[in-house]
Amino acid sequence: MTKAELVQKIHARSGLATKTQAESALDALVAVLTEAMKAGDQVSFTGFGSFKVAKRAARKGRNPRTGKEISIPAGKAVKFTAGKALKEAVK
């Protein structure tokens, strides 16, 4: 699903007057989630799931083209864990 399709579905279900308002709401949600992730907070939606930032340690890897060993630096990654209701809905 693309952002445009998501905006259209939000507009249809939310009762917002225009698609522009639906897009603004979606953009605001993404901005708030991004700010929370930058701050290292966990964001949970009961029944849907939770987003959290996980630290990844530095590690050794291999360049698949050359086979040469490379060093992969430490970093952070966003992890999503599905909630019970979402898991049940997808089954």
Q: Which residue in this structure is represented by tokens 């898991």? A: 87
Question: For the chain, how big is the Rg over CA atoms in Å?
Answer: 19
Mean pLDDT, range 25-35, rounded to an integer: 95
- Which CATH superfamily is 44-91 part of? IHF-like DNA-binding proteins (4.10.520.10)
Q: What is the pLDDT of residue 46?
A: 93
For 40-88, what is each residue's pLDDT tens digit?
Answer: 899 999 999 999 999 999 999 999 999 999 999 999 999 999 999 999 9
Alpha-carbon gap, residue 52 to 44, rounded angstroms: 9
Q: What is the pLDDT of residue 15?
A: 86
Q: What is the pLDDT of residue 57?
A: 96
Mean pLDDT, range 29-42, rounded to an integer: 94
* Ranges of each domain in the chain: 1-41, 44-91
Mean pLDDT, range 9-22, rounded to an integer: 92
Alpha-carbon gap, residue 43 to 2, rounded angstroms: 23
Collapse the DSSP code of 55 into the 3-class scheme (helix H, G, I; strand E, B; otherwise coil) and give the result: strand
Cβ count within 10 A of residue 7: 20
Which pTM value belongs to this model? 0.75
